[in-house]
A and B are shown apart, each in its own frame.
Chain A
Amino acid sequence: MRRVRFWFFSSIVSILMTGSVSSDRVVYSTIDDSFNLTAHTGKEFEFDSLKGKVALLYFGFTYCPSICPMELTHISQALDALPDDKVIGLFITVDPERDTVQKLSTYAPFFHARIIGLTGANKEIDKAAKLFNVSYRRIAQGDSYTVDHSSNIIVLNQLGEVKALVPFGSNYEHLVKLVQGVLSDNG
């Protein structure tokens, strides 16, 4: 019964959303065209590869002292508890200057094999951030800088739609239940 209700509910939402320009409904076909990002493997990232999986998307940067490691740890713990072929993690950097492909290739897999680090040109990162309503800003820190950034985890379902925002600070058990809920929602 619950399954049917959710399906009904989300299809109502989808119907209501069509026709209006809403950045909350993100579909693959539009991403492909709108920005290009490179995965930490060095290859250009194909958003098609996300099809059929739930994606946990997080914007951050490798020099982030606390917030990003915390959330990435939770995401990786959640990934461990969920089926391999159903969930994936995405880490999009807000600091493309320092977070090169090389840097990401040691950072992302350190947390989990199924977390893909993404970087690219400043312009492309900007587009991505705007699409997901993420804001970020460089703050000077002595000789260096840090980047303030929104810290929600963005949950995409198997159809590439943004389904939920997880406010900062949840634990992995919650993420597991959340993903399971999203998975069962779309069969």
Chain B
Amino acid sequence: MRLIVGRLSFFFSLLWIAQVHASGVLAPGYGPLEYDPPLPGSYQLPPIQKAADGNILDSDGNLARLHDLFGDRVVLLSFMFSSCSDVNGCPLSSFVFQKIKTEIQNDLELENGVRLISLSFDPERDTPDRMQLYSNNFHYANSRGDWRFVTTDSIDTLRPILEGYGQEIEKFIDVETGETQDISHLLKVYLIDQQSMIRNIYSVSFLHADLLLNDVRSLLMPLEGQSVQKLNSPAVSKYSRPGDGKDGYESSNYETDSLALALREGRPVNLYNLIESPPLGLPPVPQPSGNIATPKKIKLGRKLFFDRRLSINDTFSCAMCHIPDQGFTSNEMATAVGVEGRSVRRNSPTLYNIAYMDSLFYDAREDNLEQQIWSPFLSRNEMANPSIGYLLGKIRSFPDYDNLFEAAFKGRPVAMDTLGMALAAYQRTLVSGNSAFDRWHFGGEDDVITDEAKRGYDLFIGRAGCSNCHLINEDHALFTDNKLHNTGLGFENSIGSGSGPVRVTLAPGVFLNVDPDIVNTVGEKPPADLGRYEITEDPADRWKYRTPTLRNIALTAPFMHNGRFSSLNEVVAFYNRGGVPHDLQSSLIRPLGLTVQEQNDLVAFMETLTGDNADALVLDAFAAPVGDPIQNDGSVH
């Protein structure tokens, strides 16, 4: 008997395919999904609007409010009526819901977190008794998961609910008997979050169990930065975002999201003040005795920082890898790219609070900001100036720099040291603090960070061990020990990663999985990077990199010395699994055994470390002059 049924299913699936091609297209939800959706939590579902409330009758006939039925779960709400006969209508949403219900049988998180609701818009025929028959179906089968079947007591009660959800219906009534023959409606399923906000609306083309489950799982993971509580917290940085938003680029309904040029209106800030009195949470700004900052030095350094003429082909300024509105790093590239598209090995460190670093570069090869400039100025793959003299000569030739160095440095002209001193003075002003964390931890304010962040803090200084390297002191916190450690990430890169297929995004929503061998024939081989060893030539120093600060970390993605991780969740997951164990790995790195919630809590904590003046610094940067080769006089266009 079994065998016949097996052959039967096969036969009928062939028949089905043949018939589908003959008679028309079945909705995508009936078949397999033809692509891999992005990982849950890796994309955003912006709230669309508040889900409408209303008076409903549950299947026991009890009056209830729709929102009460939502409870604190993620809800998938579908409108239906029991005598629906359109194959791409209610049967489709029922089919998709059934698949989700089946998935719930094996997933405790779904079972506890999600509720399916089918609401009838045919109160005349779909009485509570009738809806109870649907509930019975699951009652008798003793199946897990929560799927409610509800109705209303009359069309009048139903109408405001339908309006609230934008569901229009057309009834076809038999003229003679007055009976409803059919109801026509646009099939929509609503994804509603734990705060009763609609987060997605699925039409027939997008109603597929895999997509719904993906979105449900995303909502069950608390999204970064979102919180249920009302907080008295400082605003996060509004202007820190790439000029071209790439969120959702992987989905086929991506829409270009470019920041208007008009919004890039600058507003200068008194940067000198920041050095004089750094924000809450930060110690006094260390300055070398030979280069105490003055307003003139700072202004000159700022002008130089944004001057594209300081590169061999007049295209690159410091600001092009340390982009102010991208956290003074680049959010769009894991590792930097220099003139003529030449690849750089490492991620650009953020310049926020750079004044507090004892050493510069991930391998700590430079002592101070005054000297650091020559590495990017002279590196062939960065600004590619062929020599020191070349660069200084160029600056000497610009009329817009006349007397600026002399005025700032007591008569001394542009030279190796004054150039470094000016740029260093500006960079030292980029201090950013008085974050929500600072106000909570040093300022004693209680309701400025969420409970998740507080739990995250406890983990940070406790079980997760982060503060061993990302230090928090008595009256200030730099979140770095300024030392070098081996987490194993460099080791992993040197050994080489796995040989799985590489996913290539060709266009929004269009992917190819390409064999890595093919990619390697045209791609650049990842460069060797042995970290501190390259400076000391001591084998024990292989793959050691300097601990970065975590201040403003929410603005400085991607993370790690090579930009390996795009999200803080990935970073936490990396440390949770104990990095990449090997003989030289730091003994401070070990598997942590954190739950998903705990990892999210750590991320929530890290997001409280954004200083409240990030926007001010970005707007100051927008106001800075940009050295333009065409005008050759430093004027802005």
Contact = CB atoms under 8 A, between A and B. Distances in A.
A2 to B, nearest CB: 8
A149 B90 CA distance: 11
A155 to B, nearest CB: 7
Interface in B103-125: 118, 125
Interface string A108-148: 00111000000000000000000001111100010000101
Given A66-B20, A151-B91, A169-B94, A76 B5 contact: yes
A174 B143 contact: yes
Given A66-B16, A177-B142, A169 B91 contact: yes
Contacts of A163: 133, 136, 140
A166 interface: yes
Interface stretch (B7-15, B262-270, B408-416, B522-530): B7-15
Interface stretch (B81-89, B189-197, B290-298, B622-630): B81-89
Contact of B99 (A22, A65, A110, A169): A169
A76 B8 CA distance: 10
B380 interface: no
A24 B82 contact: no
A73 B1 CA distance: 12
Which of A70, A134, A148, A151 gathers the greatest number of chain B CB atoms within 10 Å? A151
Contacts of B139: 6, 164, 181
B95 interface: yes
Contacts of A174: 98, 102, 141, 143
Contacts of A67: 87, 91
Contacts of A185: 140
Contacts of B84: 135, 150
B134 A164 contact: yes
Nearest to B19: A65
A122 to B, nearest CB: 16
B397 interface: no
B336 to A, nearest CB: 52
Contact of A80 (B1, B83, B136): B1
B129 A17 contact: yes
B134 A73 contact: no
A65 B19 CA distance: 6
Given A136-B85, A151-B91, A66 B181 contact: no
A149 to B, nearest CB: 5
Contacts of B26: 66
Interface residues of A, number: 49
A27 interface: no
A185 B91 CA distance: 28
B377 interface: no
Given A69-B15, A134-B83, A165 B133 contact: yes
A105 interface: no
A171 interface: yes
A22 B126 CA distance: 12
A151 B90 CA distance: 9
Nearest to B24: A141
A77 interface: yes
B8 A148 contact: no
A173 to B, nearest CB: 9
B143 A177 contact: yes
Given A73-B12, A76-B5, A181 B133 contact: no
Contacts of B9: 73
Which of A112, A148, A169, A177 gathers the greatest number of chain B CB atoms within 10 Å? A169
Interface in B166-218: 181-182
B345 interface: no
Contacts of A13: 129, 132
Contacts of B30: 66
B266 to A, nearest CB: 58
A112 B1 CA distance: 9
B133 A135 contact: no
B598 to A, nearest CB: 36
Given A136-B85, A150-B82, A151-B85, A181 B141 contact: yes
Which of B16, B90, B127, B129 gathers the greatest number of chain A CB atoms within 10 Å? B129
A167 interface: yes
A186 B87 CA distance: 34
B97 interface: yes
B85 A166 contact: no
Which of B9, B22, B140, B141 gathers the greatest number of chain A CB atoms within 10 Å? B140
B280 interface: no
Interface string A161-187: 011111111110011011111100100
19 contacts: A65-B16, A65-B19, A66-B19, A77-B5, A112-B5, A133-B82, A149-B85, A150-B85, A151-B94, A155-B137, A165-B130, A167-B137, A168-B98, A169-B99, A170-B98, A174-B143, A177-B141, A179-B140, A185-B140
Top 9 A-B pairs ranked by shortest CB distance? Answer: A181-B140, A65-B19, A169-B95, A169-B98, A167-B94, A177-B141, A148-B85, A164-B136, A178-B141
